[in-house]
Amino acid sequence: MRLILHGRTVVPGVAEGEALVSHQTISGWGGIDPATGTIIERRHELCGQSFAGKILVFPGAKGSSGWSGFFQATRLMGTAPLGMLYTVTTTKVALGAVVTRVPTVTDLDRDPVKVINTGDWVRIDADHGIVEVVPAGAE
């Protein structure tokens, strides 16, 4: 059973892949290792997991304005997420999405952190603001 979400485009494009969902905001500076795309913040629920090659679903950014620089570094190092869905827009996360250059959608009609699970297959069509979700294990 597919779930279709509609939202607002931040960065256009189309991407699809496995979701990595965080219920906590993500820190850029000191919170991720750009060389591997791994979350390294010790108290974070996803500590030790990499978002490289995944669709990153999260509430938003926390920390300094350096957030966008760290996410740009993941693009330059080939460890960026394939796409991003987030719920709370700040200048940090919006600029981070732009410099990371991956399809990104926000302001979805349902909270993606609540309706998408890690392992679900997600297709972002940010050109049209549409997100399709196929639950893990569904055909």
Residues annotated as part of the active site: 64
What average pLDDT does range 85-108 have in this prediction? 94
**Pick among 2.60.130.10, 3.50.30.10, 3.40.50.460, 3.40.50.300: CATH of 3-134:** 3.50.30.10
Task: Retrieve residue 28's tokens.
Answer: 């850029």
Domains of the chain, by residue range, sit at: 3-134
- Select the more confidently predicted residue: 132 or 92: 132
Interval 39-75: pLDDT, tens: 999 999 999 999 999 999 999 998 777 888 899 999 9
Q: Give the DSSP letter string of 108-135.
A: -SS-HHHH--TT-EEEEETTTTEEEEE-
